[in-house]
Amino acid sequence: MKIAILSRRGVLYSTRRLKQAGSERGHEVHVIDYLRCIMDITSKQPKLYYQGEELTGYDAVIPRIGASNTFYGTAVVRQFEMMKVFPANESQAITRSRDKLRSMQLLARDGVGLPVTGFAHSTKDIDGLLHIVGGAPVVVKLIEGTQGVGVILAETKKAAQAVIEAFRGLDANILVQEFIKEAGGADIRCLVVGNKVVAAMERKAPPGEFRSNLHRGGTATVVKLTAEERATARKAAKSMGLDVAGVDILRSNRGPLVMEVNSSPGLEGIEQSTNIDVAGKIIEFIEKKAKPGRTKTRGNG
């Protein structure tokens, strides 16, 4: 098979591992900087060009689209879809998961466990917003944030009001969520591939921090999932329409609660903490599923 990995940097761990896993299984794998792709949008003849050459003959594409480049990156994925190339994650699913508000609404619709979440436009309604989520302490999240950036724990009502007013003063859209104290600064990252949880790790926040992201100094260890946690992770990925997803779960007194569903989950932390070849699992999934034109949307909408 001929596989394209859409990534800004070939030296990144996840990109290197996916290329290595594909090459070891006998595939021709190319890393393509999606921001340097040119789209030829011609009726019934969609084409893509990269570094002056037309991209042809690809069987599958693995999107590794950065959050800040979602618009152009998903447009490139959509162009591949219109060229009947199989995507590990479809453009619509990536876009869906990147919108925190939309993703929360879809997860709630499908009955996935979530922290109580509020959203409002006007700062005049802060009291009502805090009441919905049970009062302080609360977690305030920028809708566009990623890797723990733009996530703040407001421990008192006054602190919450100040943070919300500051964000709204910058015209930033935010979510306000209940703080799950019993999670103890830990969460679980489940790696879902083809509706199966192939690996899981528990991430623990460093002292004095409530965010467990490994980029922020968190530590990772192997964790044994319950059947309910596995089912929740699979259901969350399915709600987003993602075949490859990192699902972040909190353990609460009322069961597993999904914090976020990531369409381009990092592989370094989970592979090193579990010793599971996650990159290989992704390539195996593509081998089983990649057929010309096999997408749900074929670039529609």
Rounded to an integer, what is the distance from CA 16 to the centroid of its chain?
19
Query: Does the pLDDT value for residue 119 go beyond 80?
Result: yes
DSSP 263: S
Q: What is the CATH number of the domain that holds 136?
A: 3.30.1490.20
| Same domain (yes/no): 147, 213 | no
Q: What's the pLDDT band for 301 if we cut at 50, 70, 90? A: very low
Same structural domain, 187 and 248:
yes
Whether 167 and 209 map to the same domain: the answer is no
Count of the separate structural domains present in the chain: 3
Q: Tokens 């700062």 map to which residue?
A: 123
Question: Pick from 127, 158, 179: which residue ends a domain?
Answer: 179
Task: Check if the beta carbon of residue 286 is closer than 8 Å to that of residue 224.
Answer: no
Strand partners, 54: 49
Q: 265 lies in a domain?
A: yes
Residues 208 and 245 in one domain: yes
Domain that holds residue 157: 117-179
pLDDT of residue 299: 44
Structural domain includes residue 297: no
| Residue among 290, 277, 258 at smallest CA distance from 90 | 290
Segment 224-283, tens digit of pLDDT: 999 999 999 999 999 999 999 999 999 999 999 999 999 999 999 999 999 999 999 999
